[in-house]
Amino acid sequence: MLTPAHQLPDHPRLAEQPLVVMALCADWCGTCREFQVVLERVARAHPEILFAWADIEDDAELVGDIDVDDFPTLAIFRGGRPLHFGASLPLEPVVTRLLESLAHSSAGAIAVPHAVSEFGARLAR
């Protein structure tokens, strides 16, 4: 199940420091609408991961200054540390492979734009 972005900061599962997948999308984007269906299926298959959906316009206060060049974009965190930030096509096998790779990885945080790091830090509070 996708958590609406505005509910994410207060989500009780954040204390568990699960993998958090934030889909950054736009209501007007057809590819995002396709992606939402795909991400819902992936979320049902991976209940151990916390999935959230943000419309960059409607959820601008939460998203902050994150600059999204391509839609949809995934921002993936663990314990507030960014593990991935980039565009994704609505291809279920590709998204699943990415998530499974990150879920089992011990790699540290990656370099991302400052606004993405800030967002992750807000999630970790």
Dump pLDDT digits (tens) for 9-52.
888 888 888 899 999 999 999 999 999 999 999 999 999 999 99
Beta bridge partners of 82: 77
Q: How far apart are CA 120 and CA 122, in angstroms?
A: 5
Domains of the chain, first to last: 2-124 (3.40.30.10)
pTM of structure: 0.93
- For the chain, where are the E strands, in sequence order? 2-4, 19-25, 50-55, 73-78, 81-87
Q: How far apart are CA 20 and CA 117, in angstroms?
A: 13
pLDDT tens digits along 82-116: 999 999 989 999 999 999 999 888 878 899 999 99
Which helix or strand (DSSP H or E) is residue 125 part of? none
Tell me the one-letter amino acid at 32.
Answer: C
